[in-house]
Structure 1
Amino acid sequence: MAPRIAVLGCGYWGSNHIRTLKKLDALYAVSDANRARAEGFAAEEDCLAIAPEDVLQRDDVDAIVMALPPQFHAAFAIRAVEAGKDVLVEKPIALTVADAERAVAAARQHGRIFMVGHVLRFHPAFEKLKALIDNGELGEVKYIHSHRLGLGKFHTENDALWDLAPHDLSMILAITGQPPVEVRGEGAAILDNLSDFAHLHMRFANGIRSHLFTSRLNPYRERRLTVVGTKAMAVFDDVESWERKLAVYRHAVWQDSGQWAFTANEPAYVEIVNGAMPLTRELQHFIDCIETRQDPRTSGEEAIMVLRILTAGSVIHD
């Protein structure tokens, strides 16, 4: 029998989980502190509406997707795994490393799946980029930079770094295969005391350098991850159309008589099969993990690493 999954939190992103799980025939219930909102989704998607305090204890609920304000994630996740539920927790899974560690340790202690909503790890273009890197198509990776810019959303608890950077940090960690040994951050708070712009600079033990720029007060959208290797460079641009989302630049740089020379080539666009959307692929992976008990691709341990980087990079606010 397919796992019976409840969505806890029926806000903007929770509603996406609700509709996607319905399409996967895995939506069993919805839950929200706003009872009317939960009942509206229940009527729309033909499922149960259960109060938040009850959904954690229901024997007919196998797993819970949590899309709550992040300050509530850790406490609810701990209670859920203690009640025998597998969980997928949206990012960030907590606002402190200590809370995240407690939640992940509780899941491990009770033998429950703990997956994190780093949805871009399931994007076909990123999966293809990762395959190119693993196959040596780019040579040795030397530098990674990401830009995630746009206007809004504005949160009372999360600044631009904590709200926008986890997706890119998850992708960067997947490429580097290790945590950074040095993190330097700076932010600019324009509207209130939370940063609206943030930069992270990272150095890894294997020699890779990385830079990340996020903004929620930018006039245009940018969703770009660039990887620079010794053989080629690649750009994953999620704003572009599917046929242009992943570009490989086979530029060449060399020394000639003591002087640097280079050739710049036009990008070669990598074919991406436009199949299921990343959220569909992520939730299908969660279902597979529930059924097979395999470790999720986006684990709690990875989320803890992301939180450590966010914490280290949040020390400066201009």
Structure 2
Amino acid sequence: MSAEVHAMSPRIAVVGCGQWGQNHIRTLAEIGVLAAVADRTPDRAAAFGEQYGVPALAPDAAIASPDIDALVLALPASVHGVTARAAFAAGKDVLIEKPIALDPADAERTAAAAREAGRLLMVGHVLRFNPVFRALCDEVAAGRIGTLRHMISTRMGLGRFLGMDVVWDLAPHDLSMVLHLAGAHPVDVSCRRRTVLSDETDIADIVMDFPGGIGAEIHVSRVSPYRDRRFSVIGTRGMLTFDDLAPEGQKLAFYAHTVWRTDNAFAFENAPAQYLETEPGMPLDRELRHFIECIGTRAEPETGADEAVETVRILSLASPLARTPG
């Protein structure tokens, strides 16, 4: 979709005006398609409605409104499913922030409801729309690292104790990237979790095996003394790293490291980092423009129902104590 919004653009409401919902509100307003805001706290919705010059509604009213074509849900994960299913029944397309549910059965019900209603279900895996990750995928597809063999994702920092353990809070970002590059569902998932400073899982390591011999490991921590946001892919002819915290111009690095077999051992050679050029652009803006484009074309979103359900399935295997109330 072009930078200019045409006259037939969809009318989108954001349901949930919390920390991440506010980002959706601002970005949709900048694009020019924000039609309303809704929150279970009327005063909060009213404040954002006044700020952006759009109606402030109750969530049920936003779902029922004939003046709204699509919804962005930025709610507690426990109510994503029931809210989305009501929206599908009302004829709305829906983008749901991750995760779409806290158990696979609820996620499956939501995906089925979208299919039965003929509506779009997109999950908000925003890193999939990061131009650096896009460039990394292009390099892998072009054969820059040879055959993909392994992926390593690290997401560490301090904080975000939101009543949800670290697996459910942080790992969906990394799972989305891993699933996209693997191009398949894992055949095996294992996880080691640790409670360190809170009452829930604070540190976790998720290991996955995929068809074709591809492996992946994800390390997440909310009790780290430093921040780390790196995603690396290892191939037969080199390695790539997407470092989200690196300075501009150094976020995507290629390492032409090589490992080869000798007569009775293995040898290796290090290579310096080659920083690759990437396009500018804000991931959330790209994500929402993709949602808008899919509404218009009726194309399946890149982060659609299958990925949404599979992510919840893996999360439930990695952290089986999570439950959806009611």
Question: What's the TM-score, normalizing by structure 1?
Answer: 0.97
Paired residues of 2:197 and 2:223 also in contact (CA < 8 A): no
2:232 is the counterpart of 1:226: yes
Partners of 2:244 and 2:122 in 1: CA distance: 23
Q: How does 1:168-317 map to 2 (within 5 A)?
A: 168-274=174-280, 276-315=281-320
Structure 2 match to 1:2: 9
Secondary structure of 2:139 counterpart: helix
Structure 2 match to 1:100: 107
Partners of 1:242 and 1:177 in 2: CA distance: 29
Partners of 2:302 and 2:159 in 1: CA distance: 29
2:85 is the counterpart of 1:78: yes
Structure 2 match to 1:121: 128
Segments of 4+ in structure 1 off by > 3 A?
none
Amino acid corresponding to residue 290 of structure 1 in structure 2: I
Bigger shift: residues 46-55 or 84-93: 46-55
Structure 2 match to 1:162: 168
Q: Deviations over 1:37-93 (max 9, x none)?
A: 111111111111011121110000100000001001000000000000000000000
Secondary structure of 1:95 counterpart: coil
- The gaps in structure 1 that reach 5 residues or longer are none
Paired residues of 2:193 and 2:204 also in contact (CA < 8 A): yes
Q: Deviations over 1:264-317 (max 9, x none)?
A: 11011110122x200000000000000110000000110111111111111499
Amino acid corresponding to residue 153 of structure 2 in structure 1: S
Pick aligned residue for 1:40 from 42, 47, 59: 47
Partners of 1:269 and 1:74 in 2: CA distance: 42
- How big is the shift at 1:109? 0.5
Pick aligned residue for 2:27 from 20, 27, 31: 20
Partners of 1:129 and 1:135 in 2: CA distance: 10
Structure 1 match to 2:5: none
Q: Deviations over 1:78-116 (max 9, x none)?
A: 000000000000000000100010011101101101000
Bigger shift: residues 84-93 or 211-220: 211-220
Partners of 1:42 and 1:150 in 2: CA distance: 33
Structure 2 match to 1:151: 158
Amino acid corresponding to residue 42 of structure 2 in structure 1: R
Amino acid corresponding to residue 311 of structure 1 in structure 2: S
Paired residues of 1:242 and 1:272 also in contact (CA < 8 A): no
Pick aligned residue for 1:132 from 126, 139, 159: 139
Partners of 1:227 and 1:316 in 2: CA distance: 30
Bigger shift: residues 84-93 or 257-266: 257-266
2:125 is the counterpart of 1:89: no
Secondary structure of 1:180 counterpart: coil
- How big is the shift at 1:221? 1.0
Aligned length: 315
Amino acid corresponding to residue 14 of structure 2 in structure 1: V
Partners of 2:63 and 2:263 in 1: CA distance: 70
Paired residues of 1:186 and 1:315 also in contact (CA < 8 A): no
Partners of 1:221 and 1:99 in 2: CA distance: 33
Paired residues of 2:195 and 2:203 also in contact (CA < 8 A): yes
Partners of 1:315 and 1:51 in 2: CA distance: 33
Partners of 2:58 and 2:216 in 1: CA distance: 44
Amino acid corresponding to residue 181 of structure 1 in structure 2: V
- How big is the shift at 1:193? 3.2
Q: Deviations over 1:156-202 (max 9, x none)?
A: 1x210011001110100000000111100111122443201111011
Amino acid corresponding to residue 218 of structure 2 in structure 1: L
- The gaps in structure 2 that reach 5 residues or longer are 1-7
State, as a whole percentage, how many aligned pairs show the same letter: 47
Amino acid corresponding to residue 301 of structure 1 in structure 2: D
Secondary structure of 1:262 counterpart: strand
- How big is the shift at 1:260? 2.2
Paired residues of 1:187 and 1:316 also in contact (CA < 8 A): no
Question: What's the TM-score, normalizing by structure 2?
Answer: 0.94
Pick aligned residue for 1:60 from 67, 70, 80: 67
Partners of 1:270 and 1:7 in 2: CA distance: 36
Secondary structure of 1:195 counterpart: coil
